[in-house]
């Protein structure tokens, strides 16, 4: 009897392949009668490297081609960094599972040779590289003296650019840095309430066809309930705000024990202007099984307290100056 082959779609970067291989290996352990193989699919975000993410559109930038392959049946499931997966999926697809979250924090990687290893101690006017408007906004909010350098490419490309630069360092997600074995390059891990992470940061999202019950049953063996609840709240917030790469939005949800010992989901979020001068922050908490409602509630609160005007201004500027 022939062994059934299950095809896993992935981007081709070292980090994306690490993630896809991790899922492949876990599923192979659980379902030894099947063969799980990884197939590389190049996305728009992988091809366009000479423009900021905020200027080339963000709807499915790193997922669209993979989703087309999934709908066409040429792959059976897709592994994404959950932060890259749009909050509204194409018809016929669903989020089958969310894996346990890695450390959610951002980290500062100093340039090799920079004797000042932490972000907090960088001198006035230090140049810090990041491709994220979310990070840029929050860093400038507390350190308006900084020079923020836009950087694109996979992690290896970014690190090579850093080594060849005169920048003080760059900010990355700790999860990716750890997964590539770069922990010794970290100068400082930033408190997640100091720089709120991206929606879904540190978690993997496994996308499948909506009618594929067999694959759903398999990937659910990798689902982590608390991470799923936390990221559901974050994604609901982002969907309500209608945000993406073009908007500085940060959020961090976590499930912990409340005062009565029962599980409590706590969600923090921010919306800010591109220059970091305006930031609206808020927090909400409640039962984890109310995750989606909590995200929507906090988004509505932020919009009432000034986020709507910030978002409207950013979208107006982006529409008027699409190539700036």
Of the candidates 242, 228, 179, 176, the residue with the CA atom closest to the CA atom of residue 200: 228
Write down the pTM of the prediction: 0.91
pLDDT at 182: 96
User: Is 34 part of any domain?
Assistant: yes
Q: Are residues 129 and 153 in the same domain?
A: yes
pLDDT value, residue 46: 58
Residue 196 maps to a domain: no
Task: For residues 21 and 5, give the distance between their C-alpha atoms in angstroms, rounded to a whole number.
Answer: 15
Cβ neighbourhood burial of 277 (10 Å; 0-12, 13-18, 19+):
exposed
CA-to-CA distance for 29 and 198, rounded, in angstroms?
Answer: 31
Assign residue 92 a region (left: φ > 0; alpha: ψ between -120 and 50; beta: otherwise).
left
DSSP code of 105? -
CATH classification at residue 24? 3.40.190.10
Per the prediction, the chain carries an average pLDDT of 92
Residues 111 and 55 in one domain: no
Q: Are residues 90 and 12 located together in one domain of the fold?
A: yes
- Per DSSP (E only), the strands in 22-126 are 34-40, 77-81, 93-98, 106-110
Residue 159 lies in a domain: yes
In the beta sheet, which residues pair with residue 40?
10
Question: Taking every pair of C-alpha atoms in the chain, what is the biggest distance, in angstroms?
Answer: 68
Q: Count structural domains, the chain.
A: 3
Instruction: State the pLDDT at residue 36.
Output: 98
| DSSP-assigned states of every residue in 277-324 | S-EEEEEEEE-GGGHHHHHHHHHHHHIIIIIHHHHHHHHHHHHH-TT-
The residue among 166, 189, 212 that closes a domain is 189
The predicted pLDDT at position 323 comes to 40
The 8-class DSSP code of residue 76 comes to S
Assess whether 127 and 85 both reside in one domain. no
Q: How distant, in Å, are the alpha carbons of 24, 84, 93, 174 from that of 181?
A: 19, 21, 33, 11
Residue 194: inside a domain: no
- Burial tier of 174 (Cβ tally within 10 Å: 0-12, 13-18, 19+): buried
Q: What is the CATH number of the domain that holds 257?
A: 3.30.160.40
Residues 56, 119, single domain; the answer is no
Residue in 228, 218, 204, 257 with CA at minimum distance from that of residue 83: 204
Query: 27-47 b/e with 16+ CB inside 10 Å = b?
Result: beeeeeeeebebbebebebbe
Alpha helices in the chain (DSSP H): 14-30, 44-47, 64-72, 133-142, 155-163, 174-179, 213-219, 225-241, 291-302, 308-320
| 198 domain residue, yes or no | no
Whether residue 169 is found in the same domain as residue 295: no
Is 129 in the same domain as 271?
Answer: no
Q: Are residues 72 and 138 in the same domain?
A: no
Are residue 72 and residue 35 in the same domain, yes or no?
A: yes
Per the domain annotation, does 114 fall within a domain? yes
* Alpha carbons 298 and 287: distance in angstroms, whole number: 14
Which pLDDT belongs to residue 79?
97
Residue span of the structural domain in which 65 resides: 4-99+203-223
Q: 82 and 118: one domain? A: no
Q: What is the DSSP letter of 156?
A: H
- 197 domain residue, yes or no: no
Sign of CA dihedral 295, 296, 302, 306: positive
Among candidate residues 189, 215, 247, the one where a domain is terminated: 189
Please tell me the predicted confidence (pLDDT) of residue 81: 94
Q: Are residues 147 and 32 located together in one domain of the fold?
A: no
Tally Cβ neighbours within 10 Å of residue 242.
13
pLDDT at 316: 80
Residues labelled as active-site residues: 84
Q: Which of 249, 301, 302, 296 is nearest to 274 (CA)?
A: 249
95 and 110 fall within a common domain? no
Using 70 as the pLDDT threshold, list the residues of the chain that sit under it. Answer: 1-3, 44-61, 243-245, 318-324
């Amino acid at each position: 009897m022939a062994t059934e082959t299950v095809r896993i779609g992935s981007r081709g970067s070292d980090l994306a392949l690490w993630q896809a291989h991790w899922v492949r290996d876990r599923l192979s352990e659980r379902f030894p009668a099947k063969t799980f193989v990884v197939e590389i699919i190049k996305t728009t975000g992988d091809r366009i490297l000479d423009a900021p993410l905020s200027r080339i559109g963000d709807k499915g930038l790193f997922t669209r081609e993979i989703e087309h392959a999934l709908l066409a049946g040429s792959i059976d499931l897709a592994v994404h960094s959950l932060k890259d997966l749009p909050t509204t999926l194409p018809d016929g697809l669903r989020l089958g599972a969310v894996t346990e979250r890695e450390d959610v924090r951002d980290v500062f990687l100093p340039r090799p040779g920079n004797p000042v290893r932490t972000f907090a101690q960088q001198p006035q006017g230090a140049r810090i590289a990041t491709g994220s408007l979310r990070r840029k906004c929050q860093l400038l909010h507390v350190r308006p003296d900084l020079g923020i350098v836009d950087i694109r490419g996979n992690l290896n490309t970014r690190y090579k650019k850093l080594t060849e630069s005169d920048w003080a360092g760059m900010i990355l997600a700790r999860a990716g840095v750890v997964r590539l074995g770069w922990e010794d390059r970290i100068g400082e891990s930033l408190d997640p309430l100091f720089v709120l992470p991206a929606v879904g940061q540190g978690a993997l999202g496994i996308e499948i066809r909506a009618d594929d019950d067999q694959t759903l049953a398999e990937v659910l063996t990798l689902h982590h309930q608390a991470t799923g609840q936390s990221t559901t709240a974050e994604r609901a917030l982002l969907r309500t705000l209608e945000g993406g790469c073009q908007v500085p939005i940060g959020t961090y949800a976590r499930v912990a024990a409340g005062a009565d010992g029962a599980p409590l989901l706590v969600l923090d979020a921010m919306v800010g202007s591109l220059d970091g001068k305006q930031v609206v922050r808020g927090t909400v908490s409640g039962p984890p099984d109310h995750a989606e409602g909590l995200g929507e509630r906090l988004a509505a609160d932020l919009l009432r307290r000034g986020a709507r005007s910030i978002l409207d201004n950013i979208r107006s500027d982006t529409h008027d100056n699409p190539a700036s």
